[in-house]
């Protein structure tokens, strides 16, 4: 069965596999996103989670379950529900459980306790939004920073925003403890160097913003000092086997812009700087200027000015000779299997003579030979679109200076290349009932649902 899942993650931990599967099946039926594990170790999903969620913990198992219950709370609040015998409830609540479900588990009680957990998670979320201090670092939250800055009678001169490079990958590989340790260390490095009246707070996406009463050059020196101190500090270097680095931006504070809007700009600009490869400090104005130039160039088509037909064509998988065509070789070629508009036919010198045209074959009609529309390999992109506008063919054969065929372009393929976004499911197709070699062919342009029906309806 396929049921839409919620964004609420539930992790179930037990060595009782029968309990695991029964609870997982039941909760998935109600749309919960369930992870089931028998692992209580440091590498277990119940210890490595980065998101708020619900934890169902079978405390009948061992001392390991009690150890998980006793773990300190993190900013990503996890509602812990213990599963045990009725007489163990008071002890478990004292040990750190938020709630207890009796074993054997009653579905009604299970859903009621989960609903209570969902409500608690929402309460924690609302409380965090209203809070002014980050639970992990003790620094101001984004909300707290915005409020203080908007109320201040002495606005800062500059600000610096720091981000730990590749923090998400560090978390995925080495766990929540490593990521939290690095953020705490960055917070301490910053707090050690800020002066009286300068603020430091946590923005979205694990970024730290510092407002300074210093000029631009002094702000740059401050940023470089923090980056050097952080990389050389007592971090988890031996554990993660790398030197954590920082990316940062430096910006002038604009009194005419609301504090919240300036924080948004800082977050956005830092994200752009992270694409410079990490371990990089930049002036926000320089980055924003480069982005503006790049966007103007994209709108004007500058990146495609040097693109020519040979750069954007698709290669032919095979080339036929006149002799092969005369001997009936083309009759063994299946057009739908190749997902091609045509195959070139060359003369004795390798020059293009004609093409084996497949468009009619896709409608169940025999393939045919015809004279193709061609374009030279050095023709620019503008000429390619012009060529398609002036011909009734939906493909062009690309030829070199000696008129030898080297590839092809289709109108739809060219337009899709420069206009459509690529995504993971673009070329995904359902598994064929009877897989054949032809089902392995990935077309240049994905087949659209209903395309064959539309083609049949128009002929």
Lowest mean pLDDT among 4-8, 87-91, 233-237, 246-250: 4-8
Task: Name the residue range of residue 452's domain.
Answer: 311-424+436-457
pLDDT of residue 455: 32
Q: Select from 86, 110, 130 the last residue of a domain.
A: 130
**Could you count the other beta carbons within 10 Å of the beta carbon of residue 440?**
9
Residues 161 and 45 occupy one common structural domain? no
Whether 431 is covered by a domain: the verdict is no
SS3 state of residue 134: coil
Please measure the distance between the N-terminal and C-terminal CA atoms of the chain and give it in whole angstroms.
Answer: 40
Judge whether residue 69 has pLDDT over 90. Answer: no
Q: What is the 3-state secondary structure (H, E, C) of 314-356?
A: ECCCCCEEHHHHHCCHHHHCCHHHHCCCEEEEECCCCCEEEEE
% of the chain at pLDDT higher than 90: 37
SS3 state of residue 308: strand
d(CA 280, CA 149): 27
Output the domain CATH number for residue 359: 3.10.580.10
Judge whether residue 314 has pLDDT over 80. Answer: yes
Mean pLDDT, the chain, rounded, equals 82
Range among 134-143, 166-175, 435-444 with highest mean pLDDT value: 166-175
Output the domain CATH number for residue 212: 3.30.70.270
Whether 183 is covered by a domain: the verdict is yes
**Which of 256, 250, 289, 255 has its CA nearest to residue 270?**
250
Residues 316 and 372 occupy one common structural domain? yes
Q: Select from 242, 265, 300 the last residue of a domain.
A: 300
d(CA 349, CA 319): 13
pLDDT of residue 351: 94
Q: Select from 300, 335, 358 the last residue of a domain.
A: 300
Residues 151 and 107 occupy one common structural domain? no
Label the pairing between strands 53-58 and 78-84: parallel
Answering whether pTM is above 0.75, one says no
Whether 21 is covered by a domain: the verdict is yes
Q: Which two tokens stand for residue 246?
A: 């920082």
Judge whether residue 286 has pLDDT over 90. Answer: yes
Q: 389-423, pLDDT tens digit by residue?
A: 988 888 999 999 999 999 999 988 888 887 777 77
Judge whether residue 362 has pLDDT over 50. Answer: no
pLDDT of residue 131: 63
Q: 194-228, pLDDT tens digit by residue?
A: 988 898 988 877 789 999 999 999 999 999 999 99
Our count of domains for the chain comes to: 3
Beta bridge partners of 12: 36, 56
Residues 315 and 214 occupy one common structural domain? no
Whether 4 is covered by a domain: the verdict is no
């Amino acid at each position: 069965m396929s049921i839409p899942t919620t964004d609420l993650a539930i992790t179930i931990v037990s060595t009782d596999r029968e309990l695991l599967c029964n609870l997982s099946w039941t909760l998935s039926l109600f749309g919960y996103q369930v992870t089931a594990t028998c692992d209580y170790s440091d590498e277990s999903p119940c210890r490595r989670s980065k998101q708020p969620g619900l934890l169902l913990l079978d405390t009948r198992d061992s001392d390991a379950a009690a150890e998980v219950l006793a773990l300190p709370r993190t900013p990503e609040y996890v509602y812990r529900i213990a599963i045990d015998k009725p007489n163990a409830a008071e002890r478990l609540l004292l040990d750190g459980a938020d709630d207890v479900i009796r074993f054997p588990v009653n579905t009604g009680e299970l859903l009621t306790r989960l609903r209570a957990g969902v409500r608690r998670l929402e309460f924690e979320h609302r409380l965090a939004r209203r809070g002014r201090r980050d639970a992990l670092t003790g620094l101001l939250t984004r909300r707290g920073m915005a409020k203080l800055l908007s109320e201040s009678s002495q606005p800062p001169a500059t600000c610096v925003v720091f981000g730990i490079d590749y923090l998400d990958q560090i978390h995925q590989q080495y766990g929540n403890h490593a990521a939290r340790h690095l953020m705490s260390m960055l917070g301490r490095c910053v707090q050690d160097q800020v002066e009286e009246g300068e603020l430091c707070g946590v923005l979205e996406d694990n970024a730290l913003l510092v407002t300074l009463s210093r000029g631009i050059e002094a702000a740059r020196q401050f940023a470089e000092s923090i980056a050097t101190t952080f990389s050389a500090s007592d971090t988890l270097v031996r554990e993660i086997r790398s030197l954590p680095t920082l990316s940062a931006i430096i910006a002038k504070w604009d009194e005419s812009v609301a504090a919240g809007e300036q924080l948004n700009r800082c977050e956005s600009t830092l994200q752009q700087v992270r694409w410079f490869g990490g371990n990089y400090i930049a002036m926000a104005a320089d980055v924003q200027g480069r982005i503006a130039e790049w966007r103007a160039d994209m709108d004007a088509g500058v990146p495609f000015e040097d693109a020519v037909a040979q750069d954007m064509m698709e290669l032919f998988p095979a080339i036929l000779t006149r002799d092969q065509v005369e001997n009936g070789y083309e009759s063994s070629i299946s057009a739908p299997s190749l997902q091609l508009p045509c195959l070139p036919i060359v003369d004795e010198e390798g020059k293009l003579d004609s093409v084996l045209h497949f468009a009619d074959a896709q409608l169940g009609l025999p393939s045919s030979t015809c004279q193709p529309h061609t374009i030279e390999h050095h023709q620019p992109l503008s000429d390619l679109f012009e060529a398609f506008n002036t011909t009734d063919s939906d493909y062009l054969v690309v030829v070199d200076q000696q008129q030898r065929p080297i590839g092809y372009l289709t109108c739809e393929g060219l337009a899709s290349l420069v206009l459509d976004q690529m995504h993971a499911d673009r070329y995904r197709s359902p598994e064929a009932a009877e897989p054949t070699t032809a089902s392995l062919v990935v077309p240049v342009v994905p087949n659209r649902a209903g395309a064959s029906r539309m083609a049949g309806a128009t002929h």
